[in-house]
Amino acid sequence: MKALTGGTGRAAAVLSSLITPRRLPATLGVAGAALMLLGAVLPWVVGADSDALSYGFRPDAATGAAALGSRAGLPGGDGLVVVLTGAAALWAAGLLLIGRGRSVHRAALIGAAVLGGAWAALDLAETGTVRDREGRLPDLAAGPGPYVVLMAGLLLLAAGALARHDAFAELDTRTLRANRLWDNRRFGEALEMQQHTVRAARRSPGRGHPSTTGASVELIRMYAWAGWPDRATELARQTVEDAAQWAPDHPEDYQRLRADIAEILG
């Protein structure tokens, strides 16, 4: 009983960590992508004539060729489109979940929602309305597949709409990655990444922001450790000048910054 209670508590803790405001968009995206993939392998059509169509993983009745999904009376292929759409959404949501999401990944979530949802809506509208070669309407009804895909589309739309670009979190993530590269003795990659991080930080949130100062200090440290004292000294001078913009509001932090830079430069 104690083990069961402990397991339930851990599960609740994991769930609560996934629905925080910061992680909620990514969690919705992962759930939407999973539903999209599930919808691809569920029947898209049911009814007396459904065996004449390919759906799920069943082979096409006329040709015997394997097909994934159904066009609800037209040639098969729905499932394949939805699988690719769901895979793209899962890739984008996964990057958001680990803090590496960018604008393109949020756009991918919205694009997957629009494509998958439009595809499912078209199938729902056409199911049972496309005549066969003899001119009769088949006895078909919509299966669960397109409804699951529509639900997935709503989750993906919500994920894309709620996700916001967090410049500060991105700076922290990039700096941590550069430090890991440095610790693994991949010095050139680490320097290049941190240089790019500082350039991006100077554009947004700006040269005089504390987050930009922190990223710059890490680059000063790398220059000093790499044996480039001139670069370290020049960047230190620029960093101290830029930090003067926030110094009046945080005088103690400013003094600590100057002390840290003096220690780095020796």
pLDDT tens sequence across 34-80? 999 998 888 777 888 776 665 445 555 666 665 555 544 334 556 77
Q: Which CATH number characterizes residue 177's domain? A: 1.25.40.10
- H-helix or E-strand containing 46? strand 45-46
Q: Averaged over 114-120, what is the pLDDT?
A: 90
Say yes or no: 82 and 106 in one domain: yes
Question: Distance between CA 79 and CA 60 in Å, rounded?
Answer: 13
Place of tokens 């060729």: 65
φ and ψ at residue 40, rounded to 5 degrees: -70, -30
Percent of the chain with pLDDT over 90: 38
Contacts of 150 (CB under 8 A, 6+ apart): 117, 120, 121, 124
Q: What is the pLDDT of residue 139?
A: 80
Q: What is the pLDDT of residue 169?
A: 67
Say yes or no: 227 and 260 in one domain: yes
Residue range(s) defining the domain that contains residue 143: 23-162
Q: What is the pLDDT of residue 73?
A: 39
pLDDT of residue 2 exceeding 60 = no
Residue of 110, 145, 113, 112 whose CA lies nearest to 127: 145
Q: Are 212 and 200 in contact (CB under 8 A)?
A: no
Q: Please tell me the total count of domains within the chain.
A: 2
Q: Which CATH number characterizes residue 37's domain? A: 1.20.140
Question: Distance between CA 160 and CA 110 in Å, rounded?
Answer: 5
Beta bridge partners of 59: 66
Place of tokens 């922190």: 214
Say yes or no: 52 and 136 in one domain: yes
